[in-house]
Structure 1
Amino acid sequence: MTAGAASPPGRVRTDLRSGVLHAVLEHPRRLGALTSAMYDELATACGRASADPGVRVLVLEGTDGAFAAGTDVRMLAEEVLGPPGSDAGAAGVAYERRVGEVLQALQDVPVPVVAVVDGPAAGAGLALVACSDVVVAGPRARFGLPVARTLGNCVPASVVAALARRAGPARTRALLLTSRMLDAREAGAVGLADVVLEAEELDAGVRDLLDGLRSAAPLALAAFKQLDRRLAAVDLPDDEDLLRACYGSSDFREGVTAFLDRRPPRWEGR
């Protein structure tokens, strides 16, 4: 890529090999940050994994030392924040509901969903991790939801609930309040990662895991997933007022602007 050239747009590339549907999050130079088009393509991949009897496992993975470093902030600036005077609060609620539909589609996939993380899984990337069945972490993996430090927005109740199911309520609360990014070992210790592998073990370890899942009885795996969903079924609290307040705030506009300007944000609490 020549100096000054635009970064290639993100995409979710799918590849079905031996019953495993690979959904590869590709956004060069953006650490896999998710765009509107990528969310749509991820939803399509979930639909394929749910409908195609030839798919036995769905794998989410990144490229070049990345997984998904949240949502592309440029997209948030254009589609959520908008120009001064825009109703960013309403746009933020609509954005979170759209992402929520994709996450629900991921959770509804009847075959095992494996997230292979060897890079940052932050923000929406961490939400993908929370909605996956088995999470494999490589040595470059980082896990966190640092929006209180970076953009000043918040996340919906459904994502907090999914994280709490993995890491527990107390650890989830601390993760959100401190904006810490956990390395692979820390993530394994708190339950965000199920398998932690060194670089030289990663390819073989993932291959063995996928072989084991493909060799298992499909109806049994689907039943286990359905039981897990039923046990997790809860009535989530209304969160629209909180989403609207954060996305519609001056702090969110400052957070997005500061991120794009590559400077620390100046929070005012309004």
Structure 2
Amino acid sequence: MSDTGDVRVERSGQVWTLVLSNPSKRNAITWDMYDLLADACRGIAADPDVRVVVVRGDAEGHAFAAGTDIGHFTEFTDGGDGVAYEHRVGAVLAELLDVRVPVVALIDGPAVGAGLAIAIGADVVVATPRSTFGAPIARTLGNCLPPWVVARLQSRLGASRSMAMLLTARLIDAQEAHVAGLVHDVVPEAEIGARVGELAERICRSAPLTLAGLKEIDRRLQKAVQSVEADDILRRCYGSSDFRAGVEAFLAGSRPQWTGA
């Protein structure tokens, strides 16, 4: 693994595990990691024997994934760069959503920003009590989320709770996420590996075509919202002075002063 992060692929029988690994930055996702995640999803598609995919963060990072590596945003020069970024990440996460077999997210620690987007791309989410979920960009960066993330979040958490969480830039804990329906089960840290293993084994015993069919129905139900156009909104946010101030403040460990410009 280099300082650009890694996505390790671990195979055990019919189960593939994808490990998001960037420990020094709480497993924040880098450009290289997005590419590796897409490559792993294509590898899954080419393997007829895989029956379950598990996605988790590197334990040394003490997080599932703490968003995109904010250092990359210093490369942006205008709103068009933000639109291109959202399209690029959206294409990678579409690969995850298109995986034909069930995807289980093992969450231990923060799943925020891009980490949240990956988590809600899973079919089943299992979390430890110390896990948190959210996208506090209204407080930290001043950028925006694409329509498909907002729509999928609403389908998992409910529209009212999702919007309240986003508009107040609040993180929710594992128990609230469980009550709302985003998290399937909350399991102590020492037991979560075994619990996910049990789920994977149960899935492996199920009818593959039925599982693939259920996933395809879910994709078709979600497809309508993917046609919503929002590049103008993304371009305005990513091209704003507020976004540049947010990135600078985040990297400096200070609090941005929003101007609305």
TM-score (norm 1): 0.92
The sequence identity of aligned pairs, in percent, is 51
Which residue among 209, 213, 236 is the counterpart of 1:245? 236
CA distance in structure 2 between the partners assigned to 1:14 and 1:32 by the alignment: 15
Residue deviations 1:95-154 (CA, integer Å, cap 9, x gap): 000000011111110000111000110001101111110001012211001011000000
1:70 aligns with 2:67: yes
Number of the residue aligned with 2:18: 23
Structure 2 SS opposite 1:114:
strand
CA distance in structure 1 between the partners assigned to 2:71 and 2:130 by the alignment: 25
Which residue among 42, 47, 51 is the counterpart of 2:37? 42
CA distance in structure 2 between the partners assigned to 1:205 and 1:8 by the alignment: 32
- What's the RMSD between the two structures over aligned residues? 1.2
Q: Note the 1:106-117 alignment, pairs <5 A.
A: 106-117=96-107
Aligned residue pairs total: 257
Is this contact kept in 2: 1:120–1:143, CA < 8 A? yes
**CA offset at residue 190 of structure 1?**
1.3
Structure 2 SS opposite 1:58:
strand
Number of the residue aligned with 1:213: 203
Number of the residue aligned with 1:89: 79
**CA offset at residue 183 of structure 1?**
1.2
Corresponding letter in the other structure for 1:56:
R
Residue deviations 1:171-228 (CA, integer Å, cap 9, x gap): 1111110111111111111122111111232122111111101111111111111122
Number of the residue aligned with 2:176: 186
Give structure 1 stretches of 5+ with no counterpart.
Answer: 1-6
Is this contact kept in 2: 1:129–1:192, CA < 8 A? no
Corresponding letter in the other structure for 2:180:
V
Number of the residue aligned with 2:109: 119
1:157 aligns with 2:181: no
1:258 aligns with 2:249: yes
CA distance in structure 2 between the partners assigned to 1:194 and 1:96 by the alignment: 28
CA distance in structure 1 between the partners assigned to 2:8 and 2:191 by the alignment: 24
Corresponding letter in the other structure for 2:17:
H
Residue deviations 1:36-79 (CA, integer Å, cap 9, x gap): 0000000011111122112111111002221111000011212x
Structure 1 SS opposite 2:224:
coil
**CA offset at residue 239 of structure 1?**
0.3
Number of the residue aligned with 2:187: 197
Is this contact kept in 2: 1:8–1:28, CA < 8 A? no
Corresponding letter in the other structure for 2:255:
P
Deviation larger for 193-202 or 124-133: 193-202
CA distance in structure 1 between the partners assigned to 2:33 and 2:209 by the alignment: 30
